[in-house]
Amino acid sequence: DDLAKADAQVDSILHRLERQYVELDPKAKFVVKSQRKDLPLLDYLGTWSWDEAKYPKSRSIPDMLSYAMSTVNHIDEEARNKTMQFNDFKTQMSNLAKKDAANLAGRDLIDVLTPDKVKADGGPDDDFISTEHLTTIPVIVPRGGEEEFLKMYETMQENVVPRSARQFKGIDDKDGNSLWRVVMFRSAVEGFKKVCREKRFAVREFEYNKDGYVKLEQQRKNVEESVKRQRDLVHGLYQASWSDVFVAWMHIKAMRVFVESVLRFGMPPSFASFIMSPKGDTALARKALADILGKQAGAMSTSMSETADGDDEFFPYVSLSFMPFAVNRDGK
């Protein structure tokens, strides 16, 4: 029972690692590293032998199973932790990423009002004026609304600086919206915003800072580099983890075959085990095996078939199915 439970648990862990590996790299290569050899899966299965170094035969089956599960659970925990770290970095990158929205209302103005677009020489003619009493408000004006905006913005609220409206050239969107700035006393801001909403002009909260833009760009670069490093680390981890878990899985399968064969055919052990991958109709392959091995089982086959649970299919041989891969890759 413990072997069956461990088998199912390792199956789940292995295929989760497979799925994560393929999601990270659709061209992922699955190679089994065992006994100092790197082998394609079919070569590994075709030449499989018990790894005496990892699982000494002097140990009992419960001890070997405990060791195998301890190894697999440790691998699983490490993979989970590294995946969490990788996802945290990806979240940071997503939060800092440029928002390439279709219109100005959905974009982050720090990526629109860049140093090459904004006049900031430190003089009175700068695009953004910010003093103890004055501030600058960006306004998105819809297509065709420029004339109306210029006629009314000075009277939308008291303490708006006359003739301070200025369009940022070369900044618009697919809908033809344009971006302007208006200078006013800080006391006028809330009232100005309210009238803009009523007139369907969109006010954006933004305070231009060249150093802030440079700092953000550097932060983005640092996070992107961290994501790349973490991706490379996780890529190698998934590859190695999948291999190590698969090796452990095959040894658990071998232990199950041995135990169930002894339970069925008795002691001393006198049986052989094989890995088979039927091509075509599995039912026909089962029938062929039953025709051959049923004769070997003799009366035992008949008696066990009669006492088998009605919900369980009985074979005159010990059979454990497994699926190395669960994710469809490149149509395979």
**Interval 5-61: pLDDT, tens:** 999 999 999 999 999 999 999 999 999 998 888 999 999 998 999 999 989 989 999
pLDDT, average across residues 298-302: 43
Q: How far is CA 133 from CA 7, 136, 184, 188, 211, in A?
A: 72, 11, 8, 10, 22
Q: 3-state class of 172 per DSSP?
A: strand
pLDDT at residue 70, rounded to an integer: 96
Q: 3-state class of 103 per DSSP?
A: coil
What's the chain's average pLDDT? Answer: 88
pLDDT, average across residues 218-231: 94
Asked if residue 158 has pLDDT above 80, the reply is yes
Could you tell me the two tokens for 54?
A: 């990892």
- Residue 288: pLDDT band by 50, 70, 90 thresholds? confident
pLDDT, average across residues 79-93: 94
Collect all residues with Cβ–Cβ distance below 8 Å to 220 and sequence separation of at least 6.
Answer: 93, 96, 97
Q: Characterize the bridge pairing of strands 178-185 and 166-172.
A: antiparallel
Residue ranges of the alpha helices (H) in the chain? 2-24, 41-46, 61-96, 146-152, 189-198, 210-265, 282-297, 299-307
Asked if residue 306 has pLDDT above 50, the reply is no
Q: What are phi and psi of 75, to 5 degrees?
A: -60, -45
- Residue 301: pLDDT band by 50, 70, 90 thresholds? very low
- Is pLDDT larger for residue 302 or for residue 16? 16
pTM above 0.75, yes or no: no
Collect all residues with Cβ–Cβ distance below 8 Å to 124 and sequence separation of at least 6.
Answer: none
pLDDT, average across residues 145-159: 95
**Interval 251-268: pLDDT, tens:** 999 999 999 888 888 888
Q: How far is CA 215 from CA 122, 218, 219, 221, 222, in A?
A: 20, 5, 6, 10, 11
Instruction: Find tokens 């970095």 and name the residue.
Output: 89
**DSSP letter at 191?**
H
Q: Give the residue among 204, 200, 145, 209 at the shortest CA–CA distance from 178.
A: 145
pLDDT at residue 296, rounded to an integer: 55
The answer to whether 53 touches 35, Cβ cutoff 8 Å, is yes
pLDDT at residue 295, rounded to an integer: 63
Collect all residues with Cβ–Cβ distance below 8 Å to 329 and sequence separation of at least 6.
Answer: 22, 26, 28
CA distance 215 to 207: 15
**Interval 168-207: pLDDT, tens:** 998 888 889 999 999 999 999 999 999 999 999 999 989 8
Asked if residue 127 has pLDDT above 90, the reply is yes
CA distance 229 to 90: 11
Asked if residue 310 has pLDDT above 70, the reply is no
Asked if residue 233 has pLDDT above 80, the reply is yes
pLDDT, average across residues 114-128: 91
